[in-house]
Structure 1
Amino acid sequence: MAPPDKEPTIKLLLIGPSNSGKTALLLRYVDDIFDTDSATATIGVDFRVKKLSVGGKPHRLLLFDTAGQERFRTLTSSYYRNAQGCILVYDVSNRESFLSMDHWFGECAKYAEPGIVMYLVGSKIDKAGARTVTAEEGKALADRHGAGFVEASSKTRENVRTPFIDVVNKIIETPELMDPKLTKKRRDTAINIGQDQDDTAGAACVC
């Protein structure tokens, strides 16, 4: 087995509004625990490491659970750097939580690396009687942003592993996301395109 510092590393972010179920999803996936007493808002950023084998090859999965509160937004934006995947989480029993997701997709587009793998999760499906968002609405939103989609329950374990497995597999299948040199090239290309667009906009303004 490769030493830890030689194992391929994958960085994933969990983002979304406060109390959407991000921390519960992370704890169920990494530690297989569900503790309602610990269901408090994340302060800043929580961090977990999980070892996993993909195709018989060991990988290190770095998982960042970011705070959903507005006052931590500047703190968490720096954690987007070098992230290869982003799992966006909303609460199916909270309509406002779902309606905020366009904003969170915008955050990801603004701060994350070009080509980052995005995946939308509708959490807390165990609260069936309190559901205010349909699965069809969640899937339509994910499709609109080019993201994967699943509904899950950290309480019952239903579909908890799905978003992590799907995102990791997609990242590994994308050489540009696994090779630091290709990642830098992709980032520099995106910056140059952005500068060209700014120059074009400026020229149009002057004319």
Structure 2
Amino acid sequence: MGKDKTLNANGTDFRQNGGGQAGGGMNGHSSFQGNSHLHRQASRQCSSELYDLSCKVMLIGDSGVGKTCLLVRFKDGTFLSGSFISTVGIDFRNKVVEVDGSKVKLQIWDTAGQERFRSITHAYYRDAHALLLLYDVTNKNSFDNIRAWLAEINEYAQEDVVIMLLGNKCDVAGERQLRREDGEKLAKEYGVAFMETSAKTGMNVELAFMAVARDLKMKKTRKPDEPQFNVAEYVDQEKTTSQCCSS
């Protein structure tokens, strides 16, 4: 069994006195008293870096689908191996990326997938500009729960939030329970972008975040007479195929 643990941006454990509370009141109940503290902490990160616009991206999905690993792969280019450690509540990282000459700061929020932390996650939906919704291609249950996650998004998130569905862990070919076509069909049904990713190999991880950054940048800068950016079409054009992710 892994241990629940939340780390701040510097890798510091938020838990205090072994009491299971984190972030000044993040205890899994109906409210998260550490909201403002974490938001202030996130806004201070990258304050020394210049950027043209800032966007909030949330990683959501069941516990164990690889949200933290995906974030670490994108932020640091490394893979978290070893014992599984579940995120408690909310964690975040910042990364500034360049899109067509503009610097976009992605403030990426990593959320706990366990049901007992769901109310904490809800509090962050309304501020998110983009949501990366993950399932594990080796875990059919995590895929079956995607509709419930999409229902929550519909209830709590902004109407124009960017949504991308990611089938993670596609490198584990021998344990695959879901075909790529399953994810593509569901994404088409809900009108969202889709791709398969691997936090271990890095496949499509950069593309997922950069597609979101490009979409958000275009939304902020698009003139009325310019066509809207279609993130799903962009992903289809840009994503690569790999033998590790074959159906």
Give the Cα separation in 2 of the matches to 1:57 and 1:161: 17
Tell me if the contact between 1:44 and 1:72 (Cα under 8 Å) persists in the aligned partners: yes
* Secondary structure at 2:55 match in 1: strand
Give the Cα separation in 2 of the matches to 1:114 and 1:163: 21
Match of 1:136 in 2: 181
Give the Cα separation in 2 of the matches to 1:127 and 1:52: 29
Match of 1:54 in 2: 99
| Pick aligned residue for 1:37 from 69, 82, 88 | 82
Unaligned runs of 5+ in 2: 1-46, 223-247
- Give 1:163 shift: 1.2
Give me the CA root mean square deviation. 1.9
The answer to whether 1:116 aligns with 2:173 is no
Give the Cα separation in 1 of the matches to 2:137 and 2:152: 21
- Give 1:118 shift: 0.3
Give the Cα separation in 1 of the matches to 2:131 and 2:182: 20
Letter in 1 for 2:129: Q
Match of 2:239 in 1: none
* Secondary structure at 1:64 match in 2: strand
Change (3 A) 1:125 1:6: closer
Give the Cα separation in 2 of the matches to 1:154 and 1:66: 16
Letter in 2 for 1:103: A
* Secondary structure at 2:82 match in 1: helix
Match of 1:180 in 2: none
Identity, in percent, stands at 40
* Secondary structure at 2:167 match in 1: strand
- Give 1:170 shift: 1.4
Runs (4+) of structure 1 exceeding 6 A deviation are none
Change (3 A) 1:67 1:108: same
Match of 1:90 in 2: 135
Cα deviation, 1:141-188, whole Å, max 9, x if unaligned, reads 1111111000011111111112111111112222399xxxxxxxxxxx
Give the Cα separation in 2 of the matches to 1:5 and 1:31: 19
Give the Cα separation in 2 of the matches to 1:106 and 1:5: 36
The answer to whether 1:14 aligns with 2:59 is yes
Match of 1:81 in 2: 126
Tell me if the contact between 2:187 and 2:194 (Cα under 8 Å) persists in the aligned partners: yes
Letter in 1 for 2:179: T
Cα deviation, 1:81-126, whole Å, max 9, x if unaligned, reads 2211000000000000110000111111111111101000000011
Could you tell me the TM-score, scaled by structure 1's length?
0.80
Higher helix share: 1
How many residue pairs match? The answer is 176
* Secondary structure at 1:103 match in 2: helix
Tell me if the contact between 1:45 and 1:64 (Cα under 8 Å) persists in the aligned partners: yes
Change (3 A) 1:38 1:65: farther
Letter in 2 for 1:150: M
Unaligned runs of 5+ in 1: 178-207
| Pick aligned residue for 1:67 from 82, 92, 112 | 112
The answer to whether 1:147 aligns with 2:188 is no
* Secondary structure at 1:37 match in 2: coil
Tell me if the contact between 1:14 and 1:65 (Cα under 8 Å) persists in the aligned partners: yes
The answer to whether 1:24 aligns with 2:65 is no
